[in-house]
Homo-oligomer: A and B are copies of this chain.
């Protein structure tokens, strides 16, 4: 979609929570999806969507559940779990696997395709963008006669902070 270099836009793309208009658009997408598949719009589902959009990326189901609960004590884990699946279905959320044993979700709405580099010491992560990855996905698919639909790419390593920490503990 967007083609020019990211400048100001990047500020928005890199932020976890998104602007008010975007929340509105996301809600519209979600509501449309619910109607399309014959599901109902409920207070819980709305609350979960809002909390999800309003928060940093890479939430596990349990983490989102705890956040949602702060706003409404009476929302259960199961509902958060199932709502996340719905959000993934309509493209508002996507799973990211950091291979730490839990499934995480991040917003997908209006964000450039990006990847993650994860610190294996402290779990922090930074995002990066790479056109090459998309190109490789297409190329490899073509060569092997696969119809590629998605990919995962994560780099694991040690962040600057933890490198320093390690050096200090050696000294």
Contacts and interface: CB of A to CB of B under 8 A. Distances in A.
Contacts of A151: 153-156
A75 interface: no
Nearest to A154: B152
- So how many copies of this chain end up in the complex? 2
B149 A152 contact: no
Contacts of A157: 141, 146-150
Nearest to A138: B155
A4 to B, nearest CB: 20
Interface in A133-166: 133, 136-137, 140-141, 143-160, 163
A47 interface: no
Contacts of A148: 117, 155-157
A67 interface: no
Contacts of A155: 136-137, 140-141, 146, 148, 150-151
B130 A158 contact: no
Interface string A99-135: 1000000000000000001011000001010101100
List the 10 closest pairs (A to B, CB-CB), nearest first: A148-B157, A145-B160, A146-B157, A151-B155, A147-B158, A153-B153, A97-B99, A128-B140, A149-B157, A150-B156
